[in-house]
Structure 1
Amino acid sequence: MNRLNGKTAVITGGATGIGLAAAKRFIEEGAFVFIFGRRQDALDAAVAELGPNARAVQGSVADLADLDRLYAAVKAERGSLDIVFANAGAGSQLALGKITAEHIDDIFDTNVKGTIFTVQQALPLMGRGGSIILTGSSAGTTGAPAFGAYGASKAAVRNLARSWAEDLKGTGIRVNVLTPGSIATELAREALGEEGMKAFAAMNPLQRMADPSEAGAVAAFLASPDSSFMTGSEVAVDGGLAQV
């Protein structure tokens, strides 16, 4: 399948988890991919795994100068950009009564500010047929103890897609949200442990956690012409967690 043949993609948070799985799938389907993240060692390992149709740029989505370097690299090598997967995210738990300004800044700088500027800085390189994908979360729909700031940031991401679908009228550029639930990423395994993974798996109707490749497959669909009549939409990859 070569739905993305000749396309150029940027994936933030692309060195691990959903981002890396999406990068693999995009390349399998013919795309050239730039991954962007904060850890140079993880980026180097990812590019070694992804092969010659991948490049890595180190930086933070919360830093406009870093994003400018990313898009300068894209322009210099590829000239234009077809797909932006704004996937970088941050989250931690603090219950109401213990929330700090630093906690809010850490989450919102990455999940909201970072998403906004990842997309805004990319627009001059994009044209008709372009696809923007934002990573949401089931936490943006459901409530969970101590996840108020994180859930609020992901609810904001969902609304950005709705607003940007209006802003992008007439450009031929689409914007949609991929909303994962429990994904068995490396980070999840480290944070939850075996018992925690089992507990999370039991929370959705499919009673398992998703492999990152399952989210990557949906990202490829949203990036491709197969989703050409979708914009402002949300696709839940959550095993039904927030749907029933």
Structure 2
Amino acid sequence: MSKIIAITGAGVGLGRALARRFASEGETVVLLGRTASKVAAAAAEIGERASGIGCDVGNPESVRAAFTQIAERHAHIDVLINNAAIFEPFQVVNATDEQILGTITTNLAGPMLCARSAIPLMSAGGLIINVSSESVGLPFPHLSVYQSSKAGLERFSESLRAELEDSGIRVTNVRAGQMFEEGKEWNVNRDDAIAFHQAALKAGLNLGERPISSFESVTDIFRALLDLPADLQAAAINLHARKA
């Protein structure tokens, strides 16, 4: 039976790749993204098994409205993938209010708000996947706010897993490494990007030499999580790119 899968941050990148993969395999996907036109275009490109809904995951009212729309179209949700995130390197001393609050709100509060709205639409066998980052465990510079948001997300995953144990809804944290897709550009201030690369090199991380995986390869892990037998649970998955 087709699963109903809601994916945040699905207009581009990993979220869109997951939506494409699952729809091609017969699942029904709901693409959520801050820019309604972008998720609508992605859903149209994927086909009849996809729909797009504008949703700013950091805005409680936007999240409520989006999941109300989902409930009007579908009787339930089988899977929620909290993928939306802001990744922007900067030093705290130079950070704007928007950089700090935007990162924390989208990366940490967003999954909490989406989970709160999705759980009433889920039942035993449901699955929530929170997408974290390998940077939590590595000495990346200029990412203190991003790393903190993702470390908080991992702690949230652990607590939510215990909270939902009796309901039969599983929660998995996926710590992902560097990924890419053809044509995707990194929308970061050039000076900040240069400073990030230089500071990373000083910390022993040569970004130019570190391996990068494709979004399509990473979708294999998510497919495996969706197909886990009912008597198994994957609490946490750590993914790192490697040279093929």
TM-score (norm 1): 0.85
C-alpha distance after superposition, 1:31-79 (max 9, x if no partner): 1111010123321221122100011001200112211222112211111
Aligned to 1:219: 222
* Contact 1:182–1:200 (CA under 8 A) maintained in structure 2: no
Give the partner amino acid of 1:91: F
Which stretch of structure 1 is more off in the superposition, 75-84 or 100-109? 100-109
How many residues align structurally?
229
Which of 125, 134, 137 aligns to 2:133? It is 137
Which of 210, 229, 232 pairs up with 1:229?
232
Per the TM alignment, residue 187 of structure 1 is displaced from its structure 2 partner at its CA by 8.0
**Kept in 2: contact 1:221–1:227 (CA 8 A):** no
Letter in 1 for 2:103: I
Aligned residue among 82, 85, 89 for 1:86: 82
Query: Is 2:26 aligned against 1:30?
Result: yes
Aligned residue for 1:42?
38
Instruction: In structure 2, give the amino acid aligned to 1:150.
Output: Y
Report the more deviating stretch, 67-76 or 129-138. 67-76
| Aligned equivalents of 2:97, 2:159: Cα separation in 1 | 27
Q: Percent identity?
A: 24
Q: Matches of 2:96 and 2:66 in 1, distance apart?
A: 31
CA contact (8 A) 2:177 2:241 kept: yes
Report 1:171-182 matches (<5 A).
Answer: 171-182=167-178
Shift of 1:91: 2.1
- The reply on whether 1:202 has 2:198 as its aligned counterpart is no
**So what's the TM-score if we normalise by structure 2?**
0.85
Q: Does residue 75 in structure 1 map to residue 71 in structure 2?
A: yes
Measure how far apart 1:99 and its partner are.
3.6
In 1, Cα distance between the equivalents of 2:154 and 2:171?
10
Coordinate RMSD, CA, aligned = 2.4
1:130-169, aligned counterparts within 5 Å?
A: 130-169=126-165
Query: CA 1:106/1:144 → structure 2, altered by over 3 Å: closer, same or farther?
Result: same
SS at match of 1:97: helix
For 1:81 and 1:128, the matched residues in 2 are separated by 11
> Residue in 1 aligned with 2:202?
none
Residue 6 of structure 1 corresponds to which residue in structure 2?
2
